[in-house]
Amino acid sequence: MPIDVDKIVAIDVHTHAERSSHGDEDEVALEYLAAAKKYFGGEPPRPTTQEVADYYRSLNMAAIVFTVDDESGMGRKRVPNEEVAELAHKNDDVLIPFASVDPHRGKMGVREAKHLIEEHKVRGFKFHPNTQAFWPNDRTFYPLYEVIAEAGLIALFHSGTTGIGAGMPGGGGVRLKYSNPMCIDDVAADFPDLDIILAHPSFPWQDEALAIAVHKPNVYIDLSGWSPKYFPQNLIQYTNTLLKNKMLFGSDYPLITPERWIADFEKIGIKDEVRPLVLKENAVKLLGLKGGAA
């Protein structure tokens, strides 16, 4: 049964399948998770795709779900894209599958992206320039974007700082420079038909992210990864005005729960007429969800 947009209360555009339904936990992933726990606080779960579906169904929400392919940059095993897509389709009343392909896979990555689009019907691709260690505007990786753009899908890029590697010696080898959203401005200019989501408040480059989203019609911002109580004033101002139709609810689950995010979102100075846009309506339009069906 497809997503009934009239019945769900929100669409979370940023959730992670942290663990495969098959096999043991990856040791490298657990090492970075330990550092992330200190950064975010608490003890976040390690959900499978099915567990993400069950959780969001209990909240009467829908969610975009993905893994992150950073095997070459981080050395941690990815959850198979095929598994994420298969389980998302089995739970298509609440889940929308995105995939992740490390741009360093080159021509094999392009082939994989085509396969995931054609055979597994993914709706977009997640990129993490920090952990994948690449400049998004390097034209070496443009063939991968071309495949996504030609299919009319979405490219979601991590932007700003990251909790991955935070506090580890040398930041775990993770370099923040790759996530400056100005690199995505080049991609948005070169691929005007490619819908792009800048993930997270882009600290320390918040103004750059806002400028790009105002300037480029194909660029949106998801508000995941931060509690709204920490949003800078300029982000709140633009959410209420120039970017009210381009801001998207995202939690970064399981690192932040949607319940906590929404509870904090209700306490900040967002206009009443803007809240439903952020929580659901902007995502419905971007994802092309119509009449209760994906």
Q: Which residue has the tokens 């992740």?
A: 100
Question: What angle (nearest 5°) sits at the alpha carbon of residue 20, between those of residues 162 and 24?
Answer: 100
The residue extents of the domains of the chain are: 11-287
pLDDT of residue 77: 82
Average pLDDT over residues 146-165: 95
Model confidence over 224-283: pLDDT tens digits? 999 999 999 999 999 999 999 999 999 999 989 999 999 999 999 999 999 999 999 999
Task: Report pLDDT digits (tens) over 84-120.
Answer: 999 999 999 999 999 999 999 999 999 999 999 999 9
pLDDT band, very low/low/confident/very high, at 72 (cuts 50, 70, 90): confident
Average pLDDT score over the chain: 93
Q: How far apart are the C-alpha atoms of 19 and 212, rounded to whole Å? A: 34
Supply the pTM of this predicted model: 0.94
Q: Per-residue pLDDT for 169 more than 90?
A: no
CB 143 within 8 A of CB 110: yes
- Distance of alpha carbon 137 from alpha carbon 126, whole angstroms: 15
11-287: CATH class: alpha beta
**What would the mean pLDDT of 129-141 be, rounded to a whole number?**
96
Tokens 């993930």 label which residue? 199
Cis preceding linkage at 47, omega within 30? no
